[in-house]
Structure 1
Amino acid sequence: MSTTEEGVSADILESEMAAAKAASSAEETAGAASLEDEATKELEAIPVQGSNRECTFILRNEDHTLGNALRCTLMRNPRVSFAGCSVPHPLTKEIHLRIVTVSDDVAPADCLAEGLRDLYASAESLLHQFDSAYDEFVASNESAAGDGADVKINIKQEFMGSFN
């Protein structure tokens, strides 16, 4: 089989393209794996040695808005003796939430889960109150219904989308 100079160039080009495609595929796979690693690290628990009632949770991709609301919700729980929230650095998107429970029988992780459920229920209640007040407003001001209905839908989608 004889090869011409053009044939050799075409073969080299094809092999280089195949190698580039394989490298690109490997990078995509590595990128997907790192995204999965990041997703699994969105919540990290750092227990305090020697105590079953104290734990610091690191919530990534969150800021003080959720942290402070969650801290307030946790402090209303009679099983929690302390809940504190800090943002280690303003340029990092993470919060540190420290939870101390009243006894060793109460796990801080259980209190965190309960606090998140309570906060979600409060947000849903607020959304329901908003919907009711808005519907009442639209009913009393029929001229506002044209443009306002679209705004209400957008607000509701953005608000609930932040919980998914």
Structure 2
Amino acid sequence: MGDEENGKKPRVLQMVRADGTDKNCFTFVLHNEDHTLGNSLRYMIMKNPEVEFCGYSITHPSERKINLRIQTKAGLPAVDVFQKGLEDLRGVCQHVLSKFEASVEEYNAQKDVTMEEV
């Protein structure tokens, strides 16, 4: 029985730390996600110079979850890097959305002017 069936909210994020590691190395399990978020988030996190390693994997093609592993240089918690990566990715998405909406408005305005001339 799944979480949705028994009335619980479905799990979205899990944090897994291997034995013998500190807070600089975590694996984040993101449920109901795929390559779209995995690769984009990996790219944004790897831009951080304090990150030694960031990679993701899809556990199985029939499962909709990704494992995102982050390893940082000493002193910087992987959780902070993960959060910053999400915030940076959101900022990029907001920028793309605003540019797209502005282009649509410009196109529609241009189309209206062309229709009036006819």
TM-score range normalised by the length of the shorter chain? 0.7 to 0.9
Paired-residue identity, %: 35
- Superposition pairs of residues 4-19 of structure 1, within 5 angstroms: none
**TM-score of the aligned structures, taking structure 2 as reference length:** 0.85
1:89 alignment partner in structure 2 = 60
Are 1:121 and 2:94 an aligned pair?
no
4+ aligned runs moved over 6 Å, structure 1: none
**TM-score of the aligned structures, taking structure 1 as reference length:** 0.62
Structure-1 separation of matches of 2:27 and 2:66: 10
Computing the radius of gyration over CA atoms, which structure comes out larger, 1 or 2? 1
SS at match of 2:6: helix
1:107 alignment partner in structure 2 = 77
Structure-2 separation of matches of 1:71 and 1:143: 44
Structure 1 or 2: larger strand share? 2
- Superposition pairs of residues 133-148 of structure 1, within 5 angstroms: 133-142=103-112
Residues 132-155 of structure 1 show CA distances to partners (whole Å, capped at 9, x for unaligned) of: 11111111111899xxxxxxxxxx
Q: How many residues align?
A: 110
Letter in 2 for 1:75: M
Match of 2:6 among 25, 31, 47: 31
CA apart distance, 1:64: 1.1
Structure 1 or 2: larger helix share? 1
1:66 alignment partner in structure 2 = 37
* Distance change (3 Å), C-alpha of 1:85 and 1:144: farther
Give unpaired runs (5+ residues) of structure 1.
1-29, 146-164
Q: Do 1:138 and 1:144's aligned partners in 2 also have CA atoms closer than 8 Å? A: no
Letter in 2 for 1:73: M
Structure-1 separation of matches of 2:107 and 2:30: 38
Match of 1:130 among 94, 100, 103: 100
Letter in 2 for 1:70: L
2:12 alignment partner in structure 1 = 42
Structure-2 separation of matches of 1:123 and 1:133: 15
Give unpaired runs (5+ residues) of structure 2.
none
Residues 23-59 of structure 1 show CA distances to partners (whole Å, capped at 9, x for unaligned) of: xxxxxxx721xx23x3xx3211111222221111100
Match of 1:79 among 50, 57, 68: 50
Bigger RCO (CA 8 Å, 6+ sep): 2
